[in-house]
Amino acid sequence: KQEVTQIPAALSVPEGENLVLNCSFTDSAIYNLQWFRQDPGKGLTSLLLIQSSQREQTSGRLNASLDKSSGRSTLYIAASQPGDSATYLCAVIRGSTLGRLYFGRGTQLTVWP
């Protein structure tokens, strides 16, 4: 069974800091990995999707990396802003069960002015 772990569970930083959120998964036979943002009481917004053959994806101030062999992904947020405050979720699709996402429990990020 695929298990996805996110560390830390919560993070509080001052505005302007560069930060890294971590995600690890137990089964390296993944098809792709997706990072989401969730605002309180709201739905999930897809931030980045990395295919298993890729090493990283970038979107604006966000950069996600993937090391499939070690079962790890990181989400790097540059020059954090208060508007980045949200819960960030990592999810993987296993190669053997195409279409099913396995989620971590998320990292709750607070960026204070």
In 3D, which of 56, 58, 49 has the Cα closest to residue 93?
A: 49
| Interface with other proteins, residue 49, by CB under 8 A | yes
Residue list 58-87, contact with other proteins (CB under 8 A): none
For residue 50, give Cα distances in angstroms to 15, 47, 68.
Answer: 27, 10, 11
Nearer to other proteins, 1 or 113 (CB): 1
CB of 93 to other proteins, least distance (A): 5
Please pick, from the candidates 75, 89, 109, 111, the single residue that binds other proteins as defined by CB under 8 A: 89
| Antiparallel, parallel or unpaired: β 62-67 and 56-59 | antiparallel
Nearer to other proteins, 40 or 113 (CB): 40
Rama region for 13: left / alpha / beta (φ>0; ψ in -120 to 50; rest): beta
| Binding stretches for other proteins (CB under 8 A) | 31-32, 34, 36, 41-46, 49, 51, 89, 91, 93, 98-101, 103-106
